[in-house]
Structure 1
């Protein structure tokens, strides 16, 4: 299996792409250190970071989509239904519902998608709002990027059931039990986090890309996105329920890992 992760920015500068190849388990192997006739243990997979690129344009991502099994992009794939409805109504001069007071609770219904609320429930923190934060500019680029991928004949399902899935690297790290405070601004802190990541995933071979991950937060996040994309590829994420599926196909859905890092390679 091959997974790819994209840390998306508004322009190619600041956008990174990581590709990981996974060697799948081949069966059961003898338990090391045991005598002849001892019970065997289940083999685990391994992962190798085969490429890590900065300054990535839409064409390279679309090319990559044609050769990987799953592609994860760190960006919102859509906007909240309530926000879209509000914009259309406001644009057409329609009056707000009499029950709307313009208060913060109502504004939050416009600011956050249903998947953002799930992220908060799982991690305790709100993600950036695609409606009200600068993430909106990146999401506009993501919409164009998804269109370029679709032009290659790759079906796009914003709920993540197809080849492309929405990934949130920071949330993934937290759900794997890693401490993320300060890593984006501090290279020393990022070095500690890389060490923690490798300690939790000794099967992961960075193939000499560690200096690039140390020097670039974008590169580091792309690698985490490619790891988290593996979770989506093997069904170790919580998909939207039937009640939310239609909405997720409009708004997008963040694939949050529901297992450990080790579960990415250990079939048990």
Structure 2
């Protein structure tokens, strides 16, 4: 009788040795945590963000390769594409678009053009720039993956969130169209939609102060952490390539919906 064999463990620490990922938004929060966890599972990781000094620190800590880059600067994206592909011999297995963000919490009637334009450029056009630049290499790979981090803001509007809703709905639409367009090229397209995540910068950047940011999470038991979302991102990348996790929504238990958050006394 022939011996039965078990499939190799796709989550072993060396299972992805030789595979190359590019992670944007890597200088803080979910992007930074994703770099740590991808490196721990054996990936070669290019860590991209605007803040070069933070990337250098991350590179020293993890062995990732720093790639200073502003995703909304098309010429910078093209230069980064040439650098990465030259160094990897043309190889890229996964493009992980984490970079994004929110500015302001205006209602529609008081919406700021400046904030809305910033959010659209950062969340939609920045993602478009990265995909357009690296898609040929991912097609050539034969088993390439694009993972876009959107938000539960891409699922339902909420008061004070219209600008961010519009940007994330746009990124979601881009992602869904891309999945249909690239299936014939065996490129996986994955979308991760996190709910309330307590990171050091997101709400502070959005609302303008640490004090205002902390009020977002006041009384919420165990909001998601960057590491929780990164774990989900890395899981989606590490499952065998024939499995496409089209989209994953994750929230803390205390956030039953976009409009229902359980807050308990401190």
- The two structures have a TM-score, normalised by structure 2, of 0.31
Which protein, 1 or 2, shows the higher relative CO under an 8 Å CA cutoff with sep ≥ 6?
Answer: 1
- The two structures have a TM-score, normalised by structure 1, of 0.31
Higher helix share: 2
